[in-house]
Chain A
Amino acid sequence: MSFEEIPHTADVKIHASAPTLEALFSETFKALMLVIYGRSRNGGMTREIRIESTDSESLLADFLSEVLFISEVEGLVFSDARIRITGFSLVAELNGEPFDPVRHSGGTEVKGISYSGLEILHDANGYMLDIIFDV
Chain B
Amino acid sequence: MLEGVNQVGMHEWEVPVGYVPGMRVAGRFFLSESLAKTLEPGAVRQLANVATLPGILKNSLAMPDIHWGYGFPIGGVAAFSLEEGVISPGGVGFDINCGVRLLSTPLHVKDVSGRRDLIDELFRTVPTGVGARSSLKVSPQSLDGMMIKGAQWAVNAGYGVERDLMRCEEGGFMKAADNRSVSAKARQRGMPQGGTLGSGNHFLEIQVVREIFDPDAARAFGLSSGQVCCMIHCGSRGLGHQVCTDHLKILESATKKYHITIPDRQLACAPITSPEGKAYFGAMAASANYAWANRQMITHSARQVLSKMFRIDYEEMPLIYDVAHNVAKMEEHILDKKGVEVCVHRKGATRAFGPGSRDLPGDLTSIGQPVIIPGSMGTSSYVLRGTQTAMDMTFGSTCHGAGRIMSRTQAKKSLNGREITANLLKEGIIVRAHSESAIADEAPEVYKPSDEVVSVVHEVGISRLVARLSPLGVIKG
Contacts and interface: CB of A to CB of B under 8 A. Distances in A.
B19 to A, nearest CB: 18
A110 to B, nearest CB: 8
Contacts of B435: 38, 105-107
Contacts of B189: 69, 72-73
Nearest to B129: A105
A104 B435 CA distance: 10
6 contacts: A9-B406, A65-B245, A105-B435, A111-B94, A111-B95, A112-B94
A116 to B, nearest CB: 4
Given A106-B435, A108-B200, A116-B70, 15 more contacts: A5-B409, A11-B408, A36-B130, A69-B185, A69-B242, A72-B131, A72-B189, A75-B131, A104-B130, A108-B130, A108-B477, A111-B95, A115-B266, A116-B266, A135-B408
A134 B89 CA distance: 13
B130 A134 contact: no
Contacts of B144: none
B460 to A, nearest CB: 23
Contact of A7 (B264, B410, B441): B410
A75 B189 CA distance: 11
A86 B198 CA distance: 37
Given A69-B189, A109-B477, A12 B71 contact: no
Contacts of B271: none
A9 B405 contact: yes
Interface in A8-46: 8-12, 36-38
A118 interface: yes
Interface in B82-127: 93-95
Contact of B93 (A5, A69, A108, A134): A134
Interface string B46-79: 0000000000000000000001111100100000
Closest 4 pairs (CB-CB, A-B): A112-B94, A116-B70, A115-B265, A7-B407
B188 A62 contact: no
B266 A109 contact: no
Given A104-B130, A116-B266, A135-B200, A6 B245 contact: no
B238 interface: yes
A37 B74 CA distance: 26
A5 B244 CA distance: 24
A111 B245 CA distance: 9
B265 A104 contact: no
B252 to A, nearest CB: 8
Contact of B404 (A9, A112, A115, A118): A9
B115 to A, nearest CB: 25
A5 B411 CA distance: 12
A108 B197 CA distance: 12
Given A9-B406, A115-B70, A115-B265, A99 B248 contact: no
Contacts, number: 111
A109 B404 contact: no
A113 B69 contact: no
A75 B410 CA distance: 30
Interface string B224-263: 0000000000000010011011001100100000000000
A118 B141 CA distance: 39
A134 B70 contact: yes
Contacts of A38: 435, 437
A37 B438 CA distance: 12
Interface in A62-93: 62, 65, 68-69, 72-73, 75
B74 A109 contact: no
A117 B42 CA distance: 11
Contacts of B163: none
Contacts of A107: 130, 435, 437
A9 B67 contact: yes
A132 interface: yes
Given A7-B410, A9-B68, A10-B404, A109 B245 contact: no
A8 B71 CA distance: 15
Interface string B189-225: 1000000001110000000000000000000000000
B267 to A, nearest CB: 9
A101 B434 CA distance: 9
A36 B462 CA distance: 37
A47 to B, nearest CB: 15
B331 interface: no
B40 interface: yes
Interface centre among B69, B130, B248, B407 (most CB of A within 10 A): B130
Contacts of A11: 69-70, 408
A116 B46 CA distance: 10
B131 A104 contact: yes
Nearest to A65: B245
B78 to A, nearest CB: 17
Contact of A112 (B74, B199, B241, B437): B241
A107 to B, nearest CB: 6
Give the one of A37, A58, A111 with max B CB within 10 A.
A111
